[in-house]
Structure 1
């Protein structure tokens, strides 16, 4: 570990990143298991129907860092033997127990409230389907943001079938109504690659991060978003960025040369994202997701610029691909 003042840096490899996400999954699954047992011990009984505890965001994509927060949802079956109120009473207790366990483990709550304690993200299968349909049929900015959150969902515990049924509804609607891809594109391109017109890095100008670079929103998120939209367009069910690129290649949806360059750019973005300074605040490890000015050595800048140039080309490719698909549909 390296330190600059009170801020720490931890070097990562791709293998370490995979191990970290396996570790996250193990902790979360064990937390859910223990929560089930605790409710049973308290007299609530076993879960009355099948359910799934889902991860969104970087967790859904299996791309969490050591300091990732809680982005999760909860979906459960209906039952002819239990009322909706009875199911909600049980699962709200279970979710409260799970989230308390995750809090104890050091997972901070999601700042955007995309968490299963929020009833918007804890619903029955039919309620989730209805909500999804409403978003799809009214693709305003907020609805599209939610749709893209759902596109990254992954079952970490419980019935994967419930999650995949919901994903199939999303991809099925896009397949039948491809014009919605235009709405998804607008949100996807919201975060631009932070590279100037003369090939210079666009760094932070003010504050304690002055001279640093926002690797999360200037490189990592734009690449992730672009790959995700291409996967949605192609009906790919994978949730990880690497998995999506592999499936795009298998489906011959994108030339192999482009996929290879995107893999290289993504690997750089993930490596640098994982090297951002972090600190302990309020009992949680946090990061502002910015490469510090001290870290931006000559070699780092060259590597980062290579990544960003590919990222810019990726965004152009995605835009052209969606426009071509939409124009073909209109024609």
Structure 2
């Protein structure tokens, strides 16, 4: 397996006819890439990991469609989009990411609503069985297509989203920010574009909503103390370690996402959002470059967190062990965190001044 090229790995995935067959490939690929990440992490390696995740998920959906056809349910009655949220939506998955997904489907003039809904319930059941067999644990927050909230027709999704925008309490804003990272991994890109377009149009027309989005965005603070020291874990098996996911990665992701929403950028990848913000002159070039560098450090260190197999599922607590915090790692981590703090300050200033400017107009 170590000598297989990306093309050969992807070919093996797309030629798979069984979920168990793909699981064998995933276990082998996991070991191969884990070894590479330990010794020579590069952005290109991260892109390859995400391309492989995409291939596993896409082939799982294709096999699920074939299973339903074989059982006599026919082909999908209407166009649909299988969407990823979270790190999958941003194309930032680690080797051990969980499932954050949903399904949007179109309206039908030929079939009863109940028939269409029943088809997609069965399809999602098959897809999630496959992802389960591949070792992807379900989202702990139940943001998953088996939950009816995240499996709706486009009109249902649009209505739900507008309801959240009009009543932006903490939970609704959390859902809106989850939706802002959605990416179509299979099916109709048009359905996803419609939904993203409606979201960004509402924000442009009602800039006051950015205040609520800001509060949630700044919820996770950068884990750097006022004297420039790392804020490490105090108790438990991770004592002395560092929460790279919530202490560095998530605060940076959240800040950039809100700037992208403010600017009307539809792309969901954090690095692409930074580049588009820079190209559109929404942020100064120097800051964009600093944030790209900080984000790269957060991504790399997040990829190095220890993982475990629990009930055949790949999981991680998202924390660097105390033994991983070498002098060099601490130095670059602190630089990353200082950039993250500046980013959070910048986001707050940008949103507040944007809303004030809109009021004057």
Give the TM-score normalised by the residue count of structure 1: 0.96
Task: Tell me if structure 2 keeps the 8 A contact 1:52–1:158.
Answer: yes
Distance 1:64 1:325, change over 3 A: same
1:32 aligned onto 2:74:
no
Q: How many aligned residue pairs are there?
A: 326
Q: How does 1:236-255 map to 2 (within 5 A)?
A: 236-255=265-284
Q: How does 1:131-146 map to 2 (within 5 A)?
A: 131-146=160-175
Task: Tell me if structure 2 keeps the 8 A contact 1:10–1:275.
Answer: no
Distance in 1 separating the partners of 2:235 and 2:179: 34
1:187 aligned onto 2:187:
no
Considering only aligned residues, what root-mean-square deviation do their CA atoms show, in Å? Answer: 1.4
1:62 counterpart (57, 73, 91):
91
Distance in 2 separating the partners of 1:290 and 1:28: 26
SS in 2 for 1:280: strand
Higher relative contact order (CA 8 A, sep 6+): 1
1:75 counterpart (77, 96, 104):
104
Deviation at 1:11, TM superposition (A): 5.9
More displaced stretch, 282-291 vs 176-185: 282-291
Counterpart residue number, 2:199? 170
1:49 counterpart (69, 78, 81):
78
Give the TM-score normalised by the residue count of structure 2: 0.89
Distance in 2 separating the partners of 1:71 and 1:286: 14
Counterpart residue number, 2:357? 328
Q: Deviations over 1:50-74 (max 9, x none)?
A: 0000000000000001110010000
- Unpaired segments of 5 or more residues in structure 1? 3-7
In terms of fraction of residues, the more helix-rich structure is: 2
Task: Tell me if structure 2 keeps the 8 A contact 1:224–1:241.
Answer: yes
- Unpaired segments of 5 or more residues in structure 2? 1-29, 32-36
Counterpart residue number, 2:231? 202
Counterpart residue number, 2:258? 229
1:85 aligned onto 2:122:
no
Counterpart residue number, 1:280? 309
Deviation at 1:260, TM superposition (A): 0.2
Counterpart residue number, 1:302? 331
Counterpart residue number, 2:140? 111
2:158 counterpart (129, 136, 141):
129
Deviation at 1:330, TM superposition (A): 2.6
Distance in 1 separating the partners of 2:40 and 2:341: 26
Task: Tell me if structure 2 keeps the 8 A contact 1:203–1:214.
Answer: yes
1:19 aligned onto 2:48:
yes
